[in-house]
Structure 1
Amino acid sequence: MAPQLVTLGMFIIDTFEYQDEDGNPIGRSLPSQIGGGGTYASIGARIWLPAEKVGMIVDRGDDFPAAIQEKLDAFGEEMWLFRNNPGTETTRALNSYRGDHRGFQYLTPRIRITPKDLIGTILERPATLHFICSPSRASAVMSEVQADSDWKPITVYEPIPDRCVPKELPALIKVLPLISILSPNAEEALSLLSMPQPPTKSTIEEACRKFLDLGVGDDGHGHVIIRSGHMGAFVANRERSAWIDAYWTEQNAEKVVDVTGAGNSFLGGLAAGLLMTGEDIFEATLYATVSASFVVEQFGLPTLTRTIDEPGTEHEQWNEDSPRRRLKELQKRLGMVTD
């Protein structure tokens, strides 16, 4: 059976550089880490789903580290479709931090993944397709999806941050009717629409309305989710809208160690939630929120452990906690369940 979620995002080995406002090196250096928006989206879904329900292509160069291979396999070998590329390096990138500014630069050539790469593989025709790219490239992705008349996936589009600028809005408007779920973060949404920064709840809600008016989803049946950090996420369609709290709020700010990959994992968790809630976008956003909560607690990916209870049933924990426990806690906070 096809997996619930396949991402077209890339696998990247991340390196890090920290500088002060004057460009002088500061802080401790971090070892190379598993990165890439696709990887984080896959883990966000894996928090809820068995490995065989999640899928991602991982391009391996000659330099692919054994330690990283071991870490990936620990999440479930079934979720990774490895492609070996002899004579090449694995995709690597530099994450640079200078004061409050974060930069991102590829150190090796990118190997982009498109829907055509899924044809004839175990990842063909997933229920949900996640992709991260510019609006113009999103049109190319959707053209390949539409070329398969037997495949009607839920499409989750995450605009790439550096292309969330006003000049990209016409290209975005062109592809919006083909997208099931549009999900920029708050700063990206306001930037695309030439709205004032910093984001507030009222401007985020206005941005959501504007994207819906621009035609998200075929026949106007799409959804917009604007991810808004500690404020939570604003979810909207033409019938309903709601704020969903972040799991870690400003009152728990010490729990947030690094937000790298939080948005990607949120959308992976959303795809899992859509399966587990009968495609209820608002309930699915709670699953997304819990997935992100595990990713921000440390540098890199969360830790998966398995325990076996007395009857012999295996249970998974992430960062030594239960996703379902966090989900229930969030539901209680929002008044969705009682003791």
Structure 2
Amino acid sequence: MAHFASLGMFIIDEFSYDDGKVLAPQIGGGGTYATIGARIWLSPGQVGMIIDRGPDFPPEMERKLSEFGDMWIYREHQGGTTRALNTYRGDHRSFDYLTPRIRITPRDLQGTRLENAATLHFICSPTRASAIMSEVQEISGWKPTVIYEPIPDRCVPEELDALVTVLSQVDILSPNAEEALGLLSIPLPPTRETIEAAVLEFLRLGTGCVIIRSGAMGACLASKTQAPRWVSAFWTSEDTEKIVDVTGAGNSFLGGLAAGLLLENGDVYKATFYASVSASFIIEQQGLPTVSSTDSWNGDSPRRRLDSLKARH
């Protein structure tokens, strides 16, 4: 049985910049990055996701994905591969789908090697999360560890009631800092104090464990039995030369978290160190990292980074 499966989509990302910069389409999608985050620690056979592949699927992207091993389940889709446009205007980024979204459901995993995966990750609105959990509960004998990542544009106060409805059904809730404060109507910008307050409020509202991903500040986590604790980001705000593009960092963080839960026997605090290291490899370049046959990522060892990060604590 696979350890990690994501219901996130594969997306071909296109880009528009106000300065006229041209960037070739890239591999994208929260599910893709989450799966890579888990793969940094686990074998290809332990992780995976479904990719809806249209006739327009670029061969160079398929070659890049194959470097990570046989972990992708391709479904042929005649309507074309999902595409989205990332528009940058100064510090503002907008995201718009250029094609209809093709949702992946828990039932889509049945009959594949990801059937009844031990850990399930998804990125969606609170209402969609409730529908996903209803479907999971209809599948006999499947009780995965559920990691829920709220979709950014639904992290607004109007969605809080819908979120509360599903909190008791997920094991780990993980918005980023801006999303968490947005849901709870706490003023921006995030500080360590407001992030810790948000963590405690989500626990009060019914989640069993919450991890708020806070960029260079690190990650704040707490559970019903554990007070808020912080795990540092591997690359901090002082490592500006290492931080090239943070796209996908939060998704890969959660894939790394899932791997850490397996390797640390369910200890969420220890697993968060794996999560931080996974994110560190994603932000070092635009697009996906490189992996060698010896599981060296971007020319470095994940285990070395893990030991280094632990030493800071």
> Structure 2 length normalisation: TM-score?
0.98
Q: Hey, what's the Cα distance between the residues in 2 that align with 1:103 and 1:11? A: 18
**1:211 partner SS:** helix
Q: Deviations over 1:269-295 (max 9, x none)?
A: 000000000010000000000000000
TM-superposition CA deviations, 1:281-318 (whole Å, max 9, x none):
00000000000000000000001112xxxxxxxx2111
Name the counterpart of 1:47. 40
Q: Take 2:140 and 2:210, find their aligned partners in 1: how far apart are those partners?
A: 25
Aligned equivalents of 1:113, 1:61: Cα separation in 2: 15
Match of 1:184 in 2: 175
Match of 1:107 among 83, 88, 98: 98
Q: Which runs of 5+ in 2 are unaligned?
A: none
Describe the SS at the equivalent of 1:39.
helix
SS at match of 1:316: coil
Q: How do residues 188-227 of structure 1 correspond to structure 2 at under 5 angstroms? A: 188-216=179-207, 222-227=208-213
Q: Which amino acid aligns with 1:305?
A: S
- Give the counterpart letter for 2:309 in structure 1: L
Matched, 1:142 2:141: no
Q: CA deviation at 1:85?
A: 1.3
* Distance (whole Å) between structure 2 residues aligned to residue 103 and residue 187 of structure 1: 15
- Measured in 1, the distance between the counterparts of 2:150 and 2:37 equals 18
CA displacement, residues 28-63 of structure 1 (integer Å, 9 cap, x when unaligned): 311111000000000000000000000100000111
Aligned with residue 280 of structure 2, among 293, 303, 316:
293
Tell me the SS of whatever aligns to 2:94: strand
Q: 1:75 aligns with which of 68, 72, 83?
A: 68
Which residue of 290, 295, 301 corresponds with 1:316? 295
Larger deviation: 113-122 or 203-212? 113-122
| Cα distance per residue 1:210-239 (max 9 Å; x no partner) | 0000011xxxxx210000000000010122
Unaligned runs of 5+ in 1: 20-25, 217-221, 307-314, 335-339
- Superposed structure 1 runs of 4+ greater than 3 Å apart: none
Superposition pairs of residues 238-317 of structure 1, within 5 angstroms: 238-240=224-226, 241-306=228-293, 315-317=294-296
Counterpart position of 1:337: none
Give the structure 1 partner of residue 123 of structure 2. Answer: 132
Distance 2:202 2:240 in 1: 30
Does residue 173 of structure 1 match 2:164? yes
Cα distance in 1, alignment partners of residues 202 and 162 from structure 2: 13
> Of 144, 153, 157, which aligns to 2:144?
153
Structure 1: distance between partners of 2:204 and 2:124:
22
In 2: Cα distance, 1:56 partner to 1:94 partner: 22
Q: Which has the larger radius of gyration?
A: 1
C-alpha RMSD of matched pairs (Å): 0.8
Cα distance in 2 for residues equivalent to 1:144 and 1:253: 43
1:319 is displaced (CA, Å) by: 0.4
Residue 27 of structure 1, CA deviation = 5.1
Partners of 1:14 and 1:146 in 2: how far apart?
33
Aligned length: 312
Distance 2:38 2:166 in 1: 25
**Which of 228, 233, 236 in structure 1 is aligned with 2:222?**
236
Pick one of 65, 80, 92 that aligns with 2:83.
Answer: 92
CA distance in 1, matches of 2:102, 2:311: 43
Determine the C-alpha separation between the residues in 1 that align with 2:112 and 2:271: 28
CA distance in 1, matches of 2:108, 2:279: 28
Task: State yes or no: 1:12 paired with 2:8.
Answer: no
User: Secondary structure at 2:81's aligned position in 1?
Assistant: coil
Q: Structure 1: how far apart are the matches of 2:38 and 2:243?
A: 20
- Separation of aligned partners in 1, 2:183 and 2:221: 18
1:32 maps onto 2:25 in alignment: yes
Aligned to 2:55: 62
CA distance in structure 2 between the aligned counterparts of 1:178 and 1:247, rounded to whole angstroms: 31
Cα displacement (A) at 1:254 = 2.0
Q: Residue 255 of structure 1: SS of its match in structure 2?
A: coil
Please state whether the residue corresponding to 1:139 is helix, strand or coil.
helix
Q: Tell me the distance in 1 between the aligned counterparts of 2:151 and 2:303.
A: 30
User: Counterparts of 2:200 and 2:20 in 1: how far apart (Å)?
Assistant: 42
Give the Cα–Cα distance (whole angstroms) in 1 for the partners of residues 84 and 290 of structure 2: 23
Deviation at 1:99, TM superposition (A): 0.7
The percent identity for this pair of structures is 64
